[in-house]
Amino acid sequence: MTILIAVLGDQLTHDLASLGGVDRSDAVVLMMEVGDETTYVRHHKRKIALVLSAMRHFAQELRDRGWMVDYVRLDAPDNSGSFTGEIVRAAKRHRPASIRIVEPGEWRVHTAIQRWAELCAIPVEVLPDDRFICGILEFQTWAQARNELTMEYFYRDMRRKTGLLMNAAGKPEGGQWNLDKDNRAPPRRGTTYPQPQHFPPDEITREVLDMVAGRFAEHFGRLENFGLPVTAAQAREALAHFVRTALPDFGTYQDAMVTGQDWLYHSWLSPALNLGLLTPLEVAQAAADAYARGDVPLNAAEGFIRQIIGWREYVRGYYWLEMPAVAQANALDAARPLPEFYWTGETEMLCMAEAIRNTRDNGYAHHIQRLMVLGNFAMLAGVRPQEVADWFLAVYVDAYEWVELPNVIGMSQHADGGRLATKPYAGGGAYINRMSDHCATCRYDVKQKVGPDACPFNALYWDFLARHERRFRRNRRMVQMYANWDRMDPAQRDAYRSSASAHLETLQPAAAGWAH
Ligand code: FAD
Ligand code: DLZ
Ligand code: SF4
């Protein structure tokens, strides 16, 4: 009895649960390139190229391993344009006894799958995605036992569960769970930085690049110099390259920003991880092994592993716990439209212009650029969180709603009212100046507090605290900021607020049509 196994574009893992325990001679693997997935937001061109190229490579590998693959191409004349449309058509083509699929990464697709059994009149089996270290139900049980969803405690549980960086006595390696205090060094100057490994496009990728350049010409972002890993073998090479060249300094300079340096010591492994070309456990294990060999210091291995088995697993659990309501959350009542320069990069704020250039050229910005520059500015300016979320979902090669939405709504915009992060990630120019070399050559003066030449982050920061005083004044972690505000001369407070208003008035809203 034939089984139809649907494999989605971010499920490109050979030991995917749905591919296990099946007689290959009696199964058809269905992979679908569909218009809906390429345009539910107008993804960065590079992301579309990556996903479709990786899907085509994976299909080829499945065939080489003896699977029968029914691959629906985007340019097929009878392509229905949606997963559901293609499932119905495939059910008619193959007349399977049942359909199997691993639970999808996104709520939109989860909702669509609920209708498949009825539409196809056959059973649909949805299997847990065991590539994640923490299951969805496991996270829900963990969360139910707590008032606050503190990432640090979740992370410790994941360390215990995986045994990563744990000693024989069941204690954290080195005696501490978290070495973040060692990981806040400003950028190292006068040095060369490692670069991610570049994989020249093969014939499959070149064909996809040509198609994307034509069909998605209006989408944001550049395709030039495409060199992302598109197979599991390449992704493993990229992982080894990162461990060798960048991981040793990953921890120390994790929060640094340098003009013209797009990756610093970051891994740029999120695209491969989120597609399933790498699993979180193998990536974290590679860092732990490097530490065990003495190749990298503990603060690097711990800091990196925390991002993978801590933050990445935590935001995925949070997504499924809080959806669908969290997508509309707007606890700070932010109503401003997204400024146009997020799409054009045309701003005199050098930190913003640099992060947006990196985003346009590579579909990348590292965590501190996303959080403390792009996200911080939007929150301080009071931009509507759903517009911010649409932007982040559209412009990054690694963006999938399960990981993007918690990071935007919860971590960077505080729009969930503090469910994910107890304190808003807000900062003025001084923070960016400490962690980057941008301010030295910016048209604005980071040391000036108010006026047309002052760094806009300075006034916007105090204006944000003043606007949300009732919400944040009693927050234990913000007592010091409000004490500083209280000590300020009232004329200084007024000057901050009018300087912020003057800057906000200069912001041009983005024209419709960039994201949707
Ligand atoms: P590295 O710095 O090398 O970190 C290693 C890995 O840890 C990453 O590849 C990633 O898998 C994981 N990781 C690190 N931080 C996080 C985090 N906060 N949440 C989840 N995983 C994390 N990450 C995405 O994968 N997709 C997104 O759409 C996305 N949107 C974001 C939006 C905002 C506003 C913010 C603040 C963060 C977002 N992140 C997102 C998290 C993080 O910024 C990226 O994972 C990281 O920049 C990817 O680059 P890298 O592989 O070089 O990361
Ligand atoms: C991101 C993306 C794009 C651009 N295109 C496709 C596609 O044509 N076919 C496909 O299976 N997946 C695609 N993806 C990834 C999906 O959006 C992702 O698998 C689901 O959202 C998971 O819920
Ligand atoms: Fe950014 Fe302000 Fe520094 Fe300019 S001065 S780079 S706007 S923080």
* Ligand 3 centre distance from Cα of residue 433 (Å): 7
Enumerate the β-bridge partners of residue 125: 100
Pocket of ligand 3 (CB under 6 A): 349-351, 429, 432-433, 438-439, 442, 444, 446, 455-457
| pLDDT above 90: residue 111 | yes
Question: What residue owns the CA closest to ligand 2's atom 10?
Answer: 9
Percentage of the chain modeled with pLDDT above 70:
100
Tell whether pTM > 0.75: yes
Q: What are phi and psi of 306, to 5 degrees?
A: -60, -40
Residues 6+ apart with CB under 8 A from 296: 243, 247, 248, 250, 287, 290
- What is the residue whose two structure tokens read 């205090």? 181
pLDDT for residue 371 is more than 90: yes
Alpha helices in 5-150 (DSSP H): 35-39, 45-64, 83-94, 107-113, 116-120, 136-144
Spatial CA neighbour of 348 closest among 422, 246, 454, 435: 454
Q: Which two tokens stand for residue 336?
A: 């401003």
DSSP per-residue codes, 291-358: HHTTSS-HHHHHHHHIIIIIIIHHHHHHHHHHTTGGGG--TT---BPPBTHHHH---S-HHHHHHHHH
Q: Give the contacts of 260 (CB within 8 A, at least 6 positions apart).
A: 354
Give the closest residue (by CA) to ligand 2 atom 17: 37
CATH class assigned to 341-505: mainly alpha
CB 90 within 8 A of CB 68: no
**Under a CB-based contact definition with an 8 Å cutoff, are residues 376 and 426 in contact?**
yes
Atom of ligand 1 nearest to the CA of 242: 3
Residue 227 has pLDDT above 80, yes or no: yes
Residue nearest (by alpha carbon) to ligand 3 atom 8: 429
- For the stretch 262-294, pLDDT in tens is 999 999 999 999 999 999 999 999 999 999 999
The reply to whether ligand 2 has any atom less than 6 angstroms from the CB of 271 is no
Q: Is 127 helix (H, G, I), strand (E, B) or coil?
A: strand
* φ and ψ of 322, to 5 deg: -105, -10
**Residue-level pLDDT at 439:** 97
Give nearest CA residue, ligand 2 atom 4: 38
Cα 359 to the chain's mean position, in Å? 12
Look-up: residue for tokens 């932007």? 391
Does residue 1 carry a pLDDT above 80? no
> Which ligand is nearest the CA of 457, by number?
3
- Nearest atom, ligand 3, residue 429 CA: 8
DSSP letters along 283-308, please? HHHHHHHHHHTTSS-HHHHHHHHIII
Domain boundaries, the chain: 3-127, 136-196+246-322, 341-505
- Cα 135 to ligand 1 centre (Å): 19
* Residue 22 confidence class, pLDDT cut points 50, 70, 90: very high
State residue 493's pLDDT score: 97
- Distance of CA 163 to CAs 20, 31, 155, Å? 26, 35, 12
CATH topology of domain 3-127: Rossmann fold (3.40.50)
CATH number of 136-196+246-322: 1.25.40.80
The H or E element containing residue 69 is strand 68-72
User: Per-residue pLDDT for 185 more than 90?
Assistant: no
Please tell me if the CB atom of residue 318 comes closer than 6 angstroms to any atom of ligand 1.
no
